[in-house]
């Protein structure tokens, strides 16, 4: 039996088993278990696409259609059975309870995603459209990943800028001060470029709390490593991201700066949306709003991640999620995002 025939046979068999089980389900809880069993990420059906890589290019469309037919049949059967159970439940309720089930009930108060979560997901969506994938890393890090591997050896003056929470006297275990450790972890895990990852997450520094500083805050970091990447690629990526998030009329600029893990290093700004870059009160008359830092990955960092800096180049850039929220909603105190005051959050 050929590979495509085996995939089609597996998909049909799974769909037949699923339809039989769904038809026999007698409550919504059972349907939920069946949904996980047949459509969950670890289900037998969802493992079928992994076999596509072993097929010839001309066989893959047919394999994809077989997979989609099976999945659609299961989804439709689940929806039909759920509706049947709902109608049966209402019929039983009408017979046993002296209430009018068609009368509108009192709508429940439901919550919604926090503004920072919404912005993080929006950022992830924009970057995924560009071919990046989301990486998640530990918030408790070692000195190697947080500092040493990023060209920040012990005694480096730039460490003073990141007042760190250490767990022990030897200062080799800490709460990460930025999401940059995932640059090294991603390069170690993926091993061979091209590497395009985005890393959102919480970071921690011993900062005094005020309108622009917190001991805990959220960052997003992007890393790209491949042959021939340049500052032009970096700037084009940031421009696409900024215009996707704020609108096609927005512009960016990059200014020279210094970060130990990039060379050259820059900070990037966004044109003011209030005045269009002319200069106004919102941007302090400059026409630009500071967003984050960026640069070409330092050869030492590539080397520490197991990447040959003589063959590959890379760029990295990042910013605070709270900073994006403040720019978008004209909020001047980032503490407001964490105080859980519904009067504030409901405005966003």
pLDDT of residue 297: 96
Residue 1 pLDDT level (bands cut at 50, 70, 90): low
| Same domain (yes/no): 55, 122 | no
**C-alpha pair distances (Å), 158 with each of 236, 261, 320:** 28, 11, 19
Domain membership of residue 122 (yes or no) is yes
Residues 138 and 14 in one domain: no
Residue 110 belongs to a domain? no
Taking only the tens place, the pLDDT of each residue in 64-119 is 888 888 889 888 989 998 998 888 887 776 565 566 667 788 888 788 899 999 99
* Claim to verify: residue 133 and residue 89 sit in the same structural domain: no
Is residue 12 domain-shared with residue 55, that is, in the same domain?
yes
Q: pLDDT of 308-344, one tens digit each?
A: 999 999 999 999 999 888 888 878 888 899 988 888 8
Q: How many domains does the chain have?
A: 2
Asked, for residue 105, whether it belongs to a domain, the answer is: no
CATH number at residue 125: 3.30.930.10
pLDDT of residue 161: 64
Structure letter (DSSP) for residue 166: B
Asked if 191 and 171 touch (Cβ cutoff 8 Å), the reply is no
Burial group, residue 255, by CB count within 10 angstroms (0-12, 13-18, 19+)? exposed
Q: Which residue has the higher pLDDT, 4 or 201?
A: 201
The confidence score (pLDDT) of residue 198 equals 95
- The reply to whether 162 and 251 lie within a common domain is yes
Residue 101 in any domain: the answer is no
Predicted pLDDT of residue 96: 59
Residues 13 and 71 in one domain: yes
CA–CA distance from 334 to each of 112, 115, 267, 272, 329 (Å)?
A: 20, 12, 21, 19, 11
Residues 51 and 18 in one domain: yes
Supply the pLDDT for residue 295: 95
* Tens digits of residue pLDDT in 132-162: 999 998 999 999 999 999 988 887 776 766 6
Last residue of a domain, one of 33, 65, 96: 96
Same domain assignment for residues 227 and 123: yes
In this structure, are 247 and 303 located in the same domain?
yes
| Termini Cα distance of the chain | 58
CB burial of 299-315 (b: ≥16 within 10 Å; e: otherwise) equals: bbbbebbebebeebbbb
Do 128 and 60 share a structural domain?
no
Tell me the C-alpha to C-alpha distance, in Å, between residue 335 and each of 170, 225, 292.
Answer: 32, 35, 19
Where in the sequence is the domain holding 87, given as residue range(s)?
A: 3-96
Q: Is the pLDDT of residue 130 over 90?
A: yes
- Cβ atoms of 144 and 177 closer than 8 Å: no
Return the higher-pLDDT residue of 283 and 263.
263
């Amino acid at each position: 039996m050929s590979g495509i025939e085996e995939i089609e046979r597996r998909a049909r068999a799974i769909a037949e088993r699923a339809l039989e089980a769904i038809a026999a389900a007698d409550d919504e809880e059972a349907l939920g278990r069946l949904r996980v069993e047949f459509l969950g990420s670890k289900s037998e059906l969802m493992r079928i696409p992994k076999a596509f890589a072993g097929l010839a290019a001309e066989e893959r469309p047919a394999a994809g259609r077989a997979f989609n037919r099976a999945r659609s049949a299961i989804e439709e059967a689940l929806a039909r059975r759920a509706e049947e159970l709902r109608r049966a439940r209402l019929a039983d309720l009408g017979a046993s309870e002296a209430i009018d089930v068609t009368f509108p009930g009192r709508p429940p108060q439901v919550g919604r995603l926090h503004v920072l979560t919404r912005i993080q997901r929006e950022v992830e969506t924009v970057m995924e459209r560009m071919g990046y994938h989301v990486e998640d890393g530990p918030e408790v890090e070692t000195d190697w990943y947080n500092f040493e591997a990023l060209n920040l050896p012990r005694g480096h003056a730039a460490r003073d800028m990141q007042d760190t929470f250490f767990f022990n006297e030897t200062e080799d275990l800490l709460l990460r001060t930025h999401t940059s450790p995932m640059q090294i972890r991603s390069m170690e895990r993926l091993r061979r470029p091209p590497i395009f990852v985005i890393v959102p997450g919480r970071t921690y520094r011993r900062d005094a709390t005020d309108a622009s500083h917190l001991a805990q805050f959220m960052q997003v970091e992007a890393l790209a490593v491949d042959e021939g990447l340049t500052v032009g690629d970096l700037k084009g990526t940031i421009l696409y991201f900024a215009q996707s998030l704020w609108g096609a009329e927005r512009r960016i600029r990059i200014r020279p700066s210094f970060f130990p893990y990039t060379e050259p290093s820059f900070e990037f700004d966004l044109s003011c949306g209030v005045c269009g870059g002319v200069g106004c009160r919102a941007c302090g008359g400059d026409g630009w709003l500071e967003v984050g830092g960026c640069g070409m990955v330092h050869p030492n960092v590539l080397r520490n991640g197991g990447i040959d800096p003589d063959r590959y180049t890379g760029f990295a850039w990042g910013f605070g999620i709270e900073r994006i929220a403040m720019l978008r909603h004209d909020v001047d105190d980032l503490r407001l995002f964490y105080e859980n005051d519904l009067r504030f959050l409901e405005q966003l």
